Every structure is written in C-alpha cells, then in structure tokens.
Amino acid sequence: MANKKVTKTAKRRLTVITPIVIIAIGYCAFTLVATVNSIYKLHHEEASLKEELNDLKGKSEDLKTEINKLQDKDYVARYARENYLYTRDGEYVIKVPADEEEKKTKKIELTSDHIMYGIFVLGTLILFYIILKIIRRRKNKKKKGRKK
C-alpha cells in the first residue's frame, strides 16, 4: 500500500473550507425548512379559510330562514320569551346557569414558531453530531497512521 502524504497546505485548505461548507449547508437546510414551514402555514390557512367560508355560507342560509320566521308574530313572541326573558301575565322565568367547567377549558396549540424552533434545534444537534464524528474519524486516522 502506498502512503499518501497530505501536505500542510492541503490540511490548511481543509480546515478553512470545511467550516465554510458546513455553514453553507446549514444555512441552506434552515432556509429549506423555513420555506417548507411557510408553505405548510399557507396551506393550513387556506384550508381554515375555506372552512370558514363554508360556515359563513351556512350561517347566511340560517339567517335567511330566520328572517322569514321573524315575519310570523307567534314566532317573534316565543323568541322574545326564550332569549330576552319576556313573560306573559302569570308566567315566571327560571334561569339555569351554564356549566362553568366548559367555559374554563382551553386547548393548547402548537404554533408554527414552536415547530420551527424545534426543527432548528434538532438540525443544530445533528450538525454538531456530524462534526464530532468527522473530528473523531480524523483523530482515529492520525492514530492509525502513527502506529504503522
């Protein structure tokens, strides 16, 4: 086997170029993740807006039927008694409070900022792991070269 000698200039070149390449790859990866995340947000927003549009169309139809119902005097009287606590002579109103537990419950949502931060931390950890592996391999190659 022929031993190839690596010159000092080649070593210097590698020590200068390697971090630049790693930083460039990291920047490209971060940009790619940010772009994918923004596309994901836009698709999610589009879906929610379409859902909201369908809900508003349904509410529009409900309001049109409500307008037609409000033309009837008996319906208006019943509506006023149910919603505004109006009573006829001799009637009593008993109000039942809503369940307090249902009002207090909240949903925890993961925002896109949380997801981006997690992806950035994960990418950074992977990048450091790769750099450590490269350094260990170089040290092992140097040790093997000295033993021979």
What pLDDT does 57 receive? 95
Domain that holds residue 128: 113-148
* pTM > 0.85: no
Q: Note whether residue 79 is domain-resident.
A: no
What pLDDT does 86 receive? 78
Q: What is the DSSP letter of 135?
A: H
Q: Note whether residue 63 is domain-resident.
A: no
Q: Does the CA dihedral 62-63-64-69 come out positive or negative? A: positive
- Per the structure, the count of domains in the chain is 1
pLDDT along the chain (148 residues), means of 10: 73 86 92 93 95 95 91 86 78 68 56 79 89 86 72
- Name the 3-class secondary structure at 55: helix
Question: How far apart are the C-alpha atoms of 43 and 37, rounded to whole Å?
Answer: 10
Q: What is the pLDDT of residues 122-142, one digit of tens each?
A: 888 999 899 888 888 888 887
Helix (H), strand (E) at residue 82: helix 73-84
